Structure 1
Amino acid sequence: MGQVREGARLGAWAVVGVIGLAVLYLVGVLAFGGAGWITAPFRGEADKRENTVGSGEFRQTTYEEFFDLCEAVQNAEGTIQALEEERKTASRTRATQIDQSITALKATRIESVNAYNSKAAQEHRAPLRDKDLPYRLDATAERTTCTN
């Protein structure tokens, strides 16, 4: 009977040891692999942001994009002004065409203003706007100035 009891005790210790190793393994997986798994979305976002925002190409493109959008607004304004001057001496048919062109150019100008303002408001792009460019463009202004 003593041997049976001793065998049962050894068997119980073996089961406890196996369970203990399994728990230790599970804790290790969760502590190391689990932490990586839990933080993966954050690390992935940071990596993606650094690969995009931190790249020289993105920075240069964004910097130039602000100038391009502001210039597009100014180009539309200049064309609108030239068409308005032409309209003063245009025939009735040509005046109708000019009115349609002006309407389209005003819509294009507003789209460019909105695109500029949208990009200027984006946290990761705003620091890449040239200091001489305005923070926002005014869609209701007759003239846009692309320097402060």
Structure 2
Amino acid sequence: MGQLREAARFGAWTVSGVVGLAVLCVIGVFAFGGAGWITAPFRGEADKRENTVASGEFRQTTYETFFDLCAAVQNAEGTIQALQEERKTASQARATQIDQSVTALKATRIESVNDYNAKAAQEHRAPFRDQDLPYRLDVGAERTTCAH
């Protein structure tokens, strides 16, 4: 019976030692950077947000990007209209060139409209779009208005 009691006491000390060592390891991890490792995803998101969205440079660049994209759409529309006017009196060879140019400009316009709409839909950029700019541009519209 004495050996059994001695073995139980030895087992209890062993379990206590393992638990104590585990507790010390956990404390050590938190004391020497483990807490930083565990909270890194949260802090990383906050740092990323602070470095981009809260940055004045990001806000200014985003604000200007919307105007630039809208202006690109308007420029393509203006050039298309000028080429279509020229086509009315153009020779056959020039009319073919104009048709090709108009096709390319329409594709460029669609890309600019899609780029504008994609950026306007991004949650972190939307607040920096000027209130006079449309929320979305219409691919099918003949004329785009960039300010009211």
Give how far 1:19 is off: 4.0
Give how far 1:15 is off: 6.0
Q: Partner of 2:116 in structure 1? A: 116
The SS at the match of 2:135 is coil
Distance 1:102 1:35 in 2: 60
Distance 1:77 1:13 in 2: 84
2:23 corresponds to which letter in structure 1?
Answer: L
1:26 corresponds to which letter in structure 2?
Answer: C
1:60 corresponds to which letter in structure 2?
Answer: Q
Distance 1:39 1:136 in 2: 38
Q: Partner of 2:140 in structure 1? A: 140
- Could you list the runs of 5+ residues in structure 2 that have no partner in the other structure? 1-9
Q: Partner of 1:56 in structure 2? A: 56
The total of aligned residue pairs comes to 144
Q: Partner of 2:24 in structure 1? A: 25
Q: Partner of 1:126 in structure 2? A: 126
1:82 corresponds to which letter in structure 2?
Answer: A
Distance 2:19 2:121 in 1: 55
1:117 corresponds to which letter in structure 2?
Answer: N
- Could you list the runs of 5+ residues in structure 1 that have no partner in the other structure? 1-10
Give how far 1:137 is off: 0.2
1:119 corresponds to which letter in structure 2?
Answer: K
TM-score (norm 1): 0.83
Q: Partner of 1:3 in structure 2? A: none
Q: Partner of 2:71 in structure 1? A: 71
TM-score (norm 2): 0.83
2:128 corresponds to which letter in structure 1?
Answer: L
